[in-house]
């Protein structure tokens, strides 16, 4: 008889445990373990389209210009190895782009044109040998802008008295930012004004 009471007590305990698990709504367990929040990250805003400048100069030479596509903006990077963060720039929208020194008009495709000036020569200051061998008016070496949302055209304008000039054609007059990282100047141009992806 004692054995039956023990068996009965064990069975009753198992039934109570099973009923309490069944009493918890299935969606409550799922909610506590698998709830995910759909979050849309907004793109940065507030960059504006006014000219951006930074005073500094280097005798280190510009060697490369490259571009990349990002979720919120298109990016241009101007490489000046050895310059550290001592790089100056001037980036602004212009109605027409003219080459320093000669005054020649350089056509750049797109709905708007950014004139990018980096305070670094595209030649060796001691020998005059080009370190970025592209002629004025030619497309930027190794840059293919096919499929970019904002960038339309990139042209080398020239290098004169220690400054290098680049024309960046964009879809429209869009907000942009400019910043300096070690050995490079970075220009980001937003895909739109609203901050939406």
pTM (2 decimals)? 0.78
The owner of tokens 């024309």 is 167
Q: How confident is the model at residue 44 (pLDDT cuts 50, 70, 90)?
A: confident
Lowest mean pLDDT among 11-25, 53-67, 76-90, 175-189: 11-25
pLDDT at 17: 44
72: nearest Cα among 26, 33, 27, 41: 41
157-173: per-residue pLDDT in tens? 999 999 999 999 999 99
Residues 6+ apart with CB under 8 A from 83: 58, 60, 120, 183
Mean pLDDT of 123-145: 95
Q: Hey, what are 35's tokens?
A: 């709830």
Residue 151 has pLDDT above 90, yes or no: yes
Lowest mean pLDDT among 17-26, 160-169, 178-187: 17-26
d(CA 182, CA 86): 8
Phi first, then psi: give them for residue 13, nearest 5 degrees.
Answer: -65, -40
**45 vs 132, residue with greater confidence:** 132
Mean pLDDT of 126-143: 95
Instruction: Please give the class, per CATH, of domain 52-190.
Output: mainly beta
pLDDT at 42: 81
Residues 6+ apart with CB under 8 A from 89: 52, 53, 54, 116, 117, 118, 119, 178, 180, 185
Residue 35 DSSP SS3:
coil
Q: How confident is the model at residue 197 (pLDDT cuts 50, 70, 90)?
A: confident
> For residues 87 and 180, is the Cβ–Cβ distance under 8 A?
yes
**41 vs 17, residue with greater confidence:** 41
As a whole number of Å, the end-to-end CA separation of the chain is 75
| Helices of type H across 24-178 | 26-34
∠ CA(180), CA(183), CA(184), 5° rounding? 45
Mean pLDDT of 15-20: 43
Q: What's the chain's average pLDDT?
A: 85
pLDDT at 45: 80
């Amino acid at each position: 008889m004692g054995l039956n009471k023990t068996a009965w007590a064990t069975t009753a305990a198992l039934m109570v445990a099973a009923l309490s698990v069944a009493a918890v709504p299935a969606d409550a367990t799922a909610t506590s373990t698998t709830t995910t929040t759909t979050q849309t990250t907004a793109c940065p805003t507030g960059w504006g389209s006014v000219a951006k400048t930074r005073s500094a100069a280097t005798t280190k030479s510009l060697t490369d210009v490259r571009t990349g596509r990002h979720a919120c903006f298109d990016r241009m990077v101007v490489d000046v190895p050895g310059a550290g963060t001592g790089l100056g720039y001037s980036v602004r929208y212009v109605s027409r782009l003219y080459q320093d020194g000669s005054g020649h008009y350089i056509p750049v495709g797109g709905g708007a044109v950014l004139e990018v000036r980096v305070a670094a020569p595209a030649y060796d200051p001691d020998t005059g040998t080009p370190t970025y061998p592209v002629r004025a008016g030619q497309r930027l070496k190794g840059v293919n802008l096919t499929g970019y949302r904002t960038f339309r055209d990139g042209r080398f304008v020239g290098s004169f008295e220690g400054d290098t000039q680049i024309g960046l054609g964009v879809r429209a007059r869009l907000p942009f930012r400019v910043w300096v990282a070690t050995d490079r100047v970075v220009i980001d141009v937003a895909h739109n004004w609203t901050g939406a992806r």
